[in-house]
Amino acid sequence: MKNVTSFLMALILLACQTNQKTVQPKTPVTGALGESAMVSSAHPLATKVGVDILKNGGNAFDAAIAVQFALAVVFPRAGNIGGGGFALYRMNDGSIGSLDFREKAPSASSRDMYLDESGEIVPNLSVRGHLAAGVPGSVDGMFQLHEKFGTRPMAELIQPAINLAYYGYVLTEDAAYQLNQKSEDLAVVNGDDFFLVKEDGWRAGDSIKYTELASTLVQIRDRGASGFYGGIVADQITKEMQRGGGLISKQDLLNYSSKWRTPVTGSYRGHKIISMPPPSSGGVAVLQLLQGAEGFDISSMGHNTKETIHILTELERRVYADRATHLGDPDFYDVPVDMLLDKAYNNKRFASIKKNAKTDSQEIKEGKVDVIESVETTHFSVVDPDGNAVAITTTLNSFFGCKVYVRGAGFFLNNEMDDFSSKPGVPNQFGLVGGEANAIVPEKRMLSSMTPTIVEKDAKLKMVVGTPGGSTIITSVFQTIMNVIDHGMSMQEAVNAKRIHSQWLPDVIIAEKEGVQKAVLNQLENMGHVIRFRDSMGRMDCILVREDGKLEGGADYTRGDNYAEGY
């Protein structure tokens, strides 16, 4: 296994180096190409698992399920069985749908559970430790997808993940770095003797095994979803909750069920945009942003110019203010989706944008946020030989979720409770403000920024896109779509392109380092914009159907270990 993995990683590194050497101004960059099928994910081994399933006769859903379980092993800081997410699909006949397997608040949760006696938020209580975990949805989601669309036996789809967990795999440089970065938090929650904390640190090339996780995956393989939500694994989860003061009960696990939802749809310059509905905020927000962008000649304005960055910022601050006010779980709150997607409403909302003057965020909506923090989620995209497309974004929320490793079961739990409005009007760890629509209620799903999205052109599949990145997910998807449609980029060029982000509060523009020319930054600052910098934003995994009919994978290898492969 080590030799195979090392050989694969060497090939990937060589491919990346080759692309970097050949990239010159105005020289096209093309991602992995496939005649019939494509998989793009956050890790080469997970992508390979998906491709193998497709080659052995599985469809896009089979491959996606296998990738999900594989990522739980090889990408444990975000890939998961202890978290949740969203699945969006488009069948080859044009029919669409989505599955919400977002986590839920435990039945014992309460509105003010993260506040002290003075009504102020207790630092880290909703972020780190047992009380931060919501009821996981990923395992149920995969079985619901399989029941409706799967063609290969579930045991066949889970077995590759079992093999990876039991026999082990080789860490990449990025994986070793992230384990070392979070070692202190992991030790605080799980003890100094926790096996993922090494005194001399992890290094690229080290081998790692998750034998307890392999046993849990065997339970799921042999007993179905009840192998996770019941039996020994459920016992291990509830014992872990009791050990650390968490709230998830056996009944919470038994009661969990994913929910099929109708996607939100819109248009952009002759393309149909299909995205995730609430409790994802991403689909509504992206459609609002694209409606606003359609009123400007983005193509002639250019990529990451003063004009384009200013307009995108102005659109984004209005849309994120709407997010904070109106969006939540539609099963608990009447989310005004029709109003937010109404062109008359958005025309009025964007009418105050001035081409040469910044709008102060306080003029749009009152509030205060000081920080936009980093986040880890993961996304993968699949297109099968029949033309079926699946986009899945899944998460633990922060790196390794709440850092709680379920003893005996071998996986991390999420800290998705932080995505609720612990105190309406006060930001969460990603600087996102929510209102009453997203207040904590037992069994409610928390609001999310995850934005799996599919694009059609002339009633045919055009793109499958998505990314991690917390609050920056929405703007990364927004820009990637425009990069292809407005700026004529290939899929890989669109993914590689430097990104900017703004979200109403804090009243700043976040730019990737070296992504915007100094002169442009000066011009924006002269308009009143405040610029902050980040090393990177998002890790896209996308697929484009090219004009010649070939599939192009766009994997964010410049920002992570992302890898696309087709055939």
Q: Any idea which residues carry the catalytic annotation?
A: 377
Say which residue the tokens 């339970």 belong to.
219
Burial call 310-327: b when 16+ CB within 10 Å, e when fewer: bbbbbbbbbbbbbbbbbb
| Cα 287 to Cα 67: distance, rounded to the nearest angstrom | 28
Distances (CA, A) of 446 to 104, 152, 274, 369, 509: 7, 32, 21, 20, 26
The full DSSP string for 268-326 is ETTEEEEEPPTTBSHHHHHHHHHHHHTTS-HHHH-TT-HHHHHHHHHHHHHHHHHHHHH
Here the tokens at position 168 are 């082990």
**Euclidean distance between CA atoms 440 and 227, whole angstroms:** 29
Q: Which tokens in the block code for residue 366?
A: 């009152």
| Residue 370 to residues 269, 428, 433, 508, Cα–Cα distance (Å) | 36, 11, 11, 10
User: Virtual CA dihedral for 197, 198, 199, 202, nearest 10 degrees?
Assistant: -120
Q: Identify which of 9, 46, 90, 139 has the alpha carbon closest to the alpha carbon of residue 406.
A: 139
Residue 204: CB atoms within 10 Å: 13
* Three-state DSSP state, 98: strand
Integer Rg of the chain from CA: 22
Contact between 539 and 41 under an 8 Å Cβ cutoff? The reply is no
